[in-house]
Structure 1
Amino acid sequence: MFWAFAVVAVAILYLAVRYKKFQSWVEPVLTIAVALGLAVALLLWFTENRSVAPVPAPPADTIAPEEIELSDLQFAPGQPATSYRVTGTITNKSAVALQSFRLDITLADCPGEPCRSLGTDSALIIARVPPGQTQPFTTFAVFTGGDLVPVKAPRWSWSISDVRPLAR
């Protein structure tokens, strides 16, 4: 579309240079051509913005959080003191290959009752695990609510969410 506008503008400029009588018409004709070009550009822009976006199809293969099993979880203190290294094994009990999941970890200090919550962290675990197989993983969790107070009796709780199958 732009090329047509450019051809018209060049033709008008050529005629203005070549024929003296046409020079008096150049300004109004160019003004009208520019106005029409802008109107067409705006019309195209508005119709493209209003087009309905296609609704993405839900993935055919899904994995429920219950189909992912974590075992041998170990929490080792790291540096800084509010950081912990989390290691364990992932078992994919689904019929679909696993790409990633989110591990939500909560730390509480329980030297007696009641427990004092120190915070939560959410780690994205990227582990491509085929169906029915296991794989070790390592991540880090940081708990900023601990105020650098030493943890006497840590109590861990975790959950799995946002499980994503491997795209084909």
Structure 2
Amino acid sequence: MATQTAFEKESNPPESSGEETDEFSDEFEELPTAEKIVSASEELRVIATTEKPDSDKAISSELLRSALLDQICRGTIHGDATPNNLLAEDEERFLSLLASADPRRIRTHTELLCQRLGLGRPHVHVNKQTLTSAVRNATTDPDASIMSVDFGNHPFFMRHESWAGPTGRTCRIPRRNTDF
């Protein structure tokens, strides 16, 4: 019998339970339901009230809350936070805070909040021009989008296959479920 060194381990293959497991299965996470979005918006309201009002996390949670409830009202996978549908308690003060907000930090906080609340990772669009123009034109254009949240890139919609094409590079082919 040979002796083992500290680097050698005895390998015992795990016993199979009879079920076949595949880490690349065709099962994808489901879209967040309306009930889940409403409960997430309540959690976002709590987060916004517990944080300092001028913090990026509080601003992100208020914008995300408005965008998610806009998504439910529309019945689509896309929601916008506009000056017209803001749910903040003091909208004028909130709009003035947006003028000094950093759009990259808002986007990052929004994506992290979505993942923390179990909503997946939607595409979040916010930029400085959108923030400043929304603050300036809140009275003239109340439907100007401050931030948009789009679940079109959610794995539920973007099932893909990776394959190596003629160039040898891995390509992602979006595969939408359009077979009826």
Please give the TM-score of this superposition, normalised by the length of structure 2. 0.25
Please give the TM-score of this superposition, normalised by the length of structure 1. 0.26
Counting strand residues as a fraction of each chain, which structure ranks higher? Answer: 1
Counting helix residues as a fraction of each chain, which structure ranks higher? Answer: 2
